[in-house]
């Protein structure tokens, strides 16, 4: 059971409104809000522990932060209040939920734009399926080797073949992490249906589309493809 979903994003959005697609574009977290979220999480775990047999944790949105050349210290300083402090707070939890979609480069003055010529998704994020493996490994280390549950991973695209490509590469990276001894409890794809994302229906993350007039659901090839992987446990399936 997850106590709070993406507390790091919640701490950054604070009271602002808007439709920014990248967490890197949000203001720095208010430390007071971060502290209160951590306290609320710990208190929630205390209450839930009274139920017996309930495993609890929370989910943290990772950005697979990369440092521009010579900016390693700036990257670590930027990442800590936005991600690492929330991972460290999960060090005693039953598991940590990892949510990963993209990477963000950090320069001397903060986040850098997506490089010219890079493939991007409908959210404007760089197409980077390796983000999942990077975020899993980082969470594993920061939490003191707590079990990992992939609670979100996916891509906003109108090209379903690229959704299959992205997910296949992300899952291959996840299996490399497992082979290295990282305990992974499960994987949840985001999302089942195209939905309302960041103020718009434009970024389609779903394995299933739908008709806006009749609401009839339209499974995409990626839904069948991922379903076969779940049934067979084999990644090298044709899309």
Residue 20 lies in a domain: no
Average pLDDT over residues 112-127: 95
Which CATH number is 123's domain given?
A: 3.20.20.80
Mean pLDDT of the chain: 94
Residue range 80-86: average pLDDT? 97
How many distinct structural domains can be found in the chain? 1
The pLDDT assigned to 18 comes to 47
Tokens of 188: 């949840």
- Is residue 239 situated within a structural domain? no
Supply the range of the domain harboring residue 118: 6-13+25-36+57-232
Over residues 184-193, the mean pLDDT reads 98
**HEC profile of 57-120:** EEEEEECCCEECCCCHHHHHHHHHHHHHHHHHCCCCCCCEEEEECCCCEEECCEECCCCCCCCE
Quick one: how far is CA 147 from the chain centroid?
16
CA distance linking residue 145 with residue 148, whole number of Å: 8
What is the pTM assigned to this prediction? 0.94
**How many Cα atoms sit within 13 Å of 170 on the Cβ side?**
30
State the average pLDDT over residues 183-198: 96
Burial class (CB in 10 A: 0-12, 13-18, 19+), 13: middle
Instruction: Classify 191 in phi/psi space as left (phi over 0), alpha (psi -120 to 50) or beta.
Output: beta
Asked whether the predicted pLDDT for residue 99 surpasses 60, the reply is yes
Bridge partners (DSSP) of residue 71 are: none
Would you say residue 231 has pLDDT above 70? yes
| pLDDT per residue as tens digits for the range 127-168 | 999 999 999 999 999 999 999 999 999 999 999 999 999 999
| Residue 41 lies inside a defined structural domain of this protein | no
């Amino acid at each position: 059971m997850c106590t709070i979903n993406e507390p790091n994003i919640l701490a950054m959005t604070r009271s602002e409104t808007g439709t920014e697609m990248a967490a890197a574009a949000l203001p720095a977290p208010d430390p007071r809000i971060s502290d209160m979220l951590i306290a609320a999480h710990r208190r929630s775990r205390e209450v839930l522990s009274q139920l017996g047999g309930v495993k609890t944790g929370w989910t943290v949105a990772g950005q697979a932060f990369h440092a521009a050349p010579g900016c390693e210290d700036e990257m670590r300083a930027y990442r800590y209040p936005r991600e690492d402090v929330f991972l460290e707070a999960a060090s005693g939890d039953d598991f940590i939920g990892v949510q990963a979609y993209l990477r963000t480069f950090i320069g001397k003055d903060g986040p850098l734009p997506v490089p010219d010529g890079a493939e991007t998704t409908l959210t404007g994020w760089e197409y980077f399926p390796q983000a999942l493996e990077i975020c899993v490994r980082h969470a594993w280390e920061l939490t003191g080797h707590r079990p990992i549950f992939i609670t979100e991973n996916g891509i906003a695209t109108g090209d379903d073949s690229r959704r299959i490509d992205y997910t296949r590469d992300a899952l291959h990276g996840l299996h490399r992490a497992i082979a290295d001894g990282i305990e992974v409890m499960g994987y949840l794809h985001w999302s089942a249906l195209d939905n309302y994302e960041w103020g718009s229906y434009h970024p389609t993350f779903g394995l299933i589309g739908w008709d806006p007039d009749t609401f009839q659901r339209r499974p995409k090839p990626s839904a069948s493809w991922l379903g076969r992987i779940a049934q067979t446990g084999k990644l090298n399936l044709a899309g």
